[in-house]
Amino acid sequence: MRESHIMKIHYGTALAAIGLVAVHILMRLTQGFAESLEYESVIANYRFLPYAGLLEIILILLSIHGFNGLRVILLELKQGQTYEKAVSYGCIAAMIALIAYGSRTIFMTNMGLM
Amino acid sequence: MAQSYEIDEKKSLTSKVVTLRIARFNPEKDSDTKFMEFIVNVEKWTTVLEAILDVKQHFDHSVAVRYSCRQATCGSCGMVINGKPRLACFTKVSELQSEVVTVEPMHNFPIIRDLTVRFDRLFNTHHKVKPYLIRDDSEITSNTKEFLQSPEELEQFIQFSNCIKCGLCNSACPTMATDSSFVGPQALAQAYRYVADSRDKGKDTRLKIIDESHGIWRCHFAGSCSQVCPKGVDPAMGIQLLRGYMLGFRS
């Protein structure tokens, strides 16, 4: 993939995440801070499908943006074909792993398995 | 270890004495840079290059320094003067407003000796972005006209034509310090100079060259390249305008 395409995704995910995290924060403000973190409240949020969907999208957006940012930082620290391939594929693998783990939590809770 | 010498010349009424600290390093012999100190007399119009040449003439002819035109045209005498990359021939000692003037070789360039650095990387990246007009026809073939441009079209890139390849922007760039494969502000500014030229037809080729993992996207927009340019070129702006082409804001 061309670097310009990757950076378009990078900027796009950042802009989308700003909007969705703002919605997420506004929704959290409907409750008190301590109440918002109670077990029942968290489970209820995950079981509310639109909100669970919002969290899933935020997870994907921030994972893509964050791991690409990490890739860029690591590419600047050291150069070399093997190192650069390891960094790129490593970041993709870590991104997929994080999204899979976070999605598992959201889906299992949403389906009442937790 | 610092060594100190003093010029024993007849001082004029307006002359001032400053300490000139020159970085000495020979990669074939030395393990690290040492500074030699010279007490020199300067007038208000004396440039740093003239002060260095004074030292070469009177005390130590082995100080290695590259220079040619002495009028900020050839771009040969770039060095770090009191912590900032500048042209030695274009920097007066008096404007530094300091009793001590420290000169070092440019950062982000391999040192040949003392103040002289190797320009291979700069010339390679400059060459890489194809710094010439790309088109099928030519002005020099018979029965063709010159490629005309309006003043507005010229305005798009004219400041970038002032680049003298002195390397000060690359020396000031923080990304150049960490990323040995980075194209650098000089080459990117030149890429913009030709991409923005209405006579050029090589935009896509050139944009493809700089659209790689160590290309244009690694610029952090620190802006230090534009701060140090002695010719008033603004490479940081050129890089942002190039990004505009790539993101679809410009065509």
- The contacts of residue B213 (CB under 8 Å, 6+ apart) are A3, A75, A84
Shared domain for B10 and B128, answered yes or no, is no
Contact criterion met (CB below 8 Å) for B100 and B22: no
* Domain of residue B15, CATH code: 3.10.20.30
Instruction: State how far the Cα of B186 lies from the Cα of B128, in Å rounded to an integer.
Output: 12
Shared domain for B15 and B58, answered yes or no, is yes
Domain range summary for chain A, segments of one domain joined by +: 3-110
Domain containing B136 equals 120-247
pLDDT computed for residue B188 by the predictor: 97
Shared domain for B169 and B208, answered yes or no, is yes
Q: Between chains, do A72 and B218 touch, taking CB under 8 Å as contact?
A: yes
Number of domains within chain B = 2
Out of B117, B142, B171, a domain closes at B117
Shared domain for B125 and B217, answered yes or no, is yes
Q: Between chains, do B179 and A79 touch, taking CB under 8 Å as contact?
A: yes
pLDDT computed for residue B83 by the predictor: 96
Q: Which CATH architecture has domain A3-110?
A: Up-down Bundle (1.20)
Shared domain for B72 and B185, answered yes or no, is no
Q: A-chain residues within 8 Å CB-CB of B215? A: 3
Shared domain for B127 and B240, answered yes or no, is yes
pLDDT computed for residue B104 by the predictor: 97
CA distances from residue B237 to A9, B119, B190, B222, B224 in whole angstroms, order as listed: 23, 24, 12, 11, 11
Shared domain for B107 and B134, answered yes or no, is no
Residue B43, both tokens: 């007038």
Instruction: State how far the Cα of B190 lies from the Cα of B244, in Å rounded to an integer.
Output: 16
Question: Does residue A82 have a pLDDT over 80?
Answer: yes
Output the DSSP codes for chain A: --HHHHHHHHHHHHHHHHHHHHHHHHHHTTS-HHHHTSHHHHHHHHHSHHHHHHHHHHHHHHHHHHHHHHHHHHHHH---HHHHHHHHHHHHHHHHHHHHHHHHHHHHHHTT--
What pLDDT digit, counting tens, does each position of A92-105 carry? 999 999 999 999 99
Q: Which residue of B has its CA nearest to A84?
A: B213
- ipTM > 0.95, yes or no: no
Q: A-chain residues within 8 Å CB-CB of B246? A: 4
Shared domain for B144 and B193, answered yes or no, is yes
Contact criterion met (CB below 8 Å) for B91 and B48: yes
Residue B158 C-alpha, separation from nearest chain A C-alpha, in angstroms: 26
A75–B contact, CB cutoff 8 A: yes
* Domain of residue B194, CATH code: 1.10.1060.10
Shared domain for B135 and B23, answered yes or no, is no
Q: Between chains, do A84 and B178 touch, taking CB under 8 Å as contact?
A: no
Shared domain for B125 and B243, answered yes or no, is yes
Low-confidence ranges of chain B (pLDDT < 70): 1-11, 13
Q: Between chains, do A76 and B211 touch, taking CB under 8 Å as contact?
A: no
pTM of the model: 0.88
pLDDT computed for residue B21 by the predictor: 97
pLDDT computed for residue B145 by the predictor: 76
Out of B117, B150, B170, a domain closes at B117
Question: Does residue A49 have a pLDDT over 80?
Answer: yes
pLDDT computed for residue B139 by the predictor: 75
Out of B84, B117, B150, a domain closes at B117
pLDDT computed for residue A58 by the predictor: 97
Q: B-chain residues within 8 Å CB-CB of A75? A: 179, 213-214, 218
Shared domain for B220 and B172, answered yes or no, is yes
Q: A-chain residues within 8 Å CB-CB of B218? A: 72, 75-76
